[in-house]
């Protein structure tokens, strides 16, 4: 059954009629309900409706606002140009399909998001996977790829992520960029979770790791820190222009509605001019992650707001824990179980936001301490799902 939340986006929402502390929304810096965002969204919808502009960008869907947003995104990411995408997922699939030919080789991280994996499926040439964040493995695959492109005359595209969305660890962008000294390749980085949350100005993991220049193509979505919909890709002007005139998902689809574009301009302005939103996010991230570590929880290698909690248990146990958290502690978070993680592992995934309070954190830490003890004592055991 798909969970349904009620009420405005916030740290507390209703689930099945009861108020819960919600840890599963990517509203990282709290823009979903920011009064200025709500005002701009509303005014823009009143002025233009949701239909404007009609048509694809290349036909009749171009506006000054679309171009302005692209300019501002490019400037923020310190790139020559940027191109808007109607959806992050579909955009990434289409970017990959457009960028490579059968002569090119893609080398990608094994834990890449579904949008990267699905983009690879449209690639007619070779693709080599490297073990997650394993630079030795990457180098091996680069050597294989280099040999191959010597014959085909193609190029190598390395694809990885800024923040890995399940485990919260960062792609080793600095080490990957350093390999450009030895191998000839370009990098496409999906920074869906890093855009707006990481780096001194919020420009993402490439900024955080000091390698903005080394990332050839930077991909971000508006669906997370920007609390909207759509996305963008930024990079050198000739490549972005090539995408602009060749990306099937954009050429053959209607352009982003005006309220989303004007709303994104407002969101970007707030993201750039209100660092206090990101500081508040990190206060909550640090309180949650330090609290969990102090209480002996395994939160893996996260270096980002994404907060995984790993516990040992079966799939029915995981379901019983999550039910207990919802029914008796009023805490809503996502879980990931087998086959995404090994059979006996339960991954609870918490997304802290600037909307959460330190009180929300304290309540949650206490709840997790209690359910951890119950899990270890076998209180959730059995094949059947039941309430604790």
The binding site for ligand PLP (CB under 6 A) comprises: 87-89, 92, 113, 115, 161, 165, 190, 192, 221, 223, 231
Cβ proximity to ligand PLP: between 23 and 297 the closer is 23
Cβ proximity to ligand PLP: between 123 and 317 the closer is 123
Cβ proximity to ligand PLP: between 307 and 320 the closer is 307
Q: Count the Cβ atoms, other than its own, within 10 Å of residue 112.
A: 21
Kindly report the backbone phi and psi dihedral angles of residue 38, in degrees, each rounded to the nearest multiple of 5, phi listed first. -60, -40
Cβ proximity to ligand PLP: between 189 and 321 the closer is 189
Cβ proximity to ligand PLP: between 89 and 329 the closer is 89
CB of 79: closest distance to ligand PLP in angstroms?
Answer: 18
CB of 222: closest distance to ligand PLP in angstroms?
Answer: 7
Cβ proximity to ligand PLP: between 13 and 229 the closer is 229
CB of 92: closest distance to ligand PLP in angstroms?
Answer: 6
CB of 116: closest distance to ligand PLP in angstroms?
Answer: 7
Token representation of residue 206? 């490439």
CB 85 within 8 A of CB 134: no
CB of 150: closest distance to ligand PLP in angstroms?
Answer: 32
Alpha-carbon distance of 42 to 50, in angstroms, equals: 11
Cβ proximity to ligand PLP: between 140 and 254 the closer is 254
* Those residues with Cβ within 8 angstroms of residue 274's Cβ, 6 or more apart along the chain or in another chain: none
CB of 223: closest distance to ligand PLP in angstroms?
Answer: 4
Q: What is the CA radius of gyration of the chain?
A: 22
Alpha-carbon distance of 160 to 197, in angstroms, equals: 18
With CB atoms as reference, the residue minimizing the distance to ligand PLP is: 88
Alpha-carbon distance of 377 to 366, in angstroms, equals: 17
CB of 372: closest distance to ligand PLP in angstroms?
Answer: 27
Cβ proximity to ligand PLP: between 211 and 260 the closer is 260
CB of 86: closest distance to ligand PLP in angstroms?
Answer: 9
């Amino acid at each position: 059954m798909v969970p349904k939340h009620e009420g405005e986006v916030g740290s507390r929402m209703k689930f099945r009629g009861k108020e819960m502390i919600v840890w599963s929304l990517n509203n990282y810096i709290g823009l979903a309900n920011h009064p200025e965002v709500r005002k701009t969204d509303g005014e823009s919808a009143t002025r233009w409706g949701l239909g404007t502009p009609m048509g694809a960008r290349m036909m009749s869907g171009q506006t000054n606002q679309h171009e302005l947003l692209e300019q501002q995104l490019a400037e923020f990411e310190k790139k020559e140009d940027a191109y808007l995408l109607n959806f992050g997922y579909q955009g990434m699939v289409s970017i990959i399909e457009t960028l490579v030919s059968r002569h090119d080789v893609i080398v990608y991280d094994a834990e890449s998001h579904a949008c990267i994996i699905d983009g690879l499926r449209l690639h007619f040439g070779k693709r080599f996977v490297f073990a997650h964040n394993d630079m030795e493995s990457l180098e091996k695959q680069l050597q294989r790829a280099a040999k191959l492109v010597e014959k085909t005359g193609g190029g190598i595209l390395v694809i990885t992520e800024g923040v890995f969305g399940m485990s919260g660890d960062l792609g080793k962008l600095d080490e990957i960029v350093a390999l450009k000294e030895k191998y000839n390749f370009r990098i496409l980085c999906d920074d869906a979770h890093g855009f707006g949350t990481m780096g001194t100005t919020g420009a993402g993991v490439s900024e955080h790791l000091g390698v903005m220049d080394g990332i050839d193509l930077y991909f971000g979505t508006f669906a997370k820190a920007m609390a909207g919909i759509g996305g963008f890709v930024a990079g050198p002007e000739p490549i972005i222009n090539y995408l602009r005139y060749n990306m099937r998902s954009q050429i053959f689809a209607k352009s982003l509605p005006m309220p989303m574009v004007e709303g994104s301009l407002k969101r970007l302005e707030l993201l750039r001019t209100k660092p206090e939103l990101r500081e508040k996010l990190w206060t909550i991230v640090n309180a949650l992650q330090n609290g969990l570590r102090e209480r002996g929880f395994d939160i893996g290698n996260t270096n980002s707001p994404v907060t995984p909690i790993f516990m040992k248990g079966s799939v029915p146990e995981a379901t019983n824990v999550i039910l207990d958290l919802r029914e008796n502690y009023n805490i809503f978070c996502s879980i990931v179980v087998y086959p995404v993680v090994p059979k006996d592992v339960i991954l609870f995934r918490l997304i802290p936001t600037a909307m959460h309070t330190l009180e929300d954190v304290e309540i949650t830490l206490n709840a997790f301490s209690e359910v951890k003890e119950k899990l270890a004592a076998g209180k959730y055991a059995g094949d059947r799902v039941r309430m604790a």
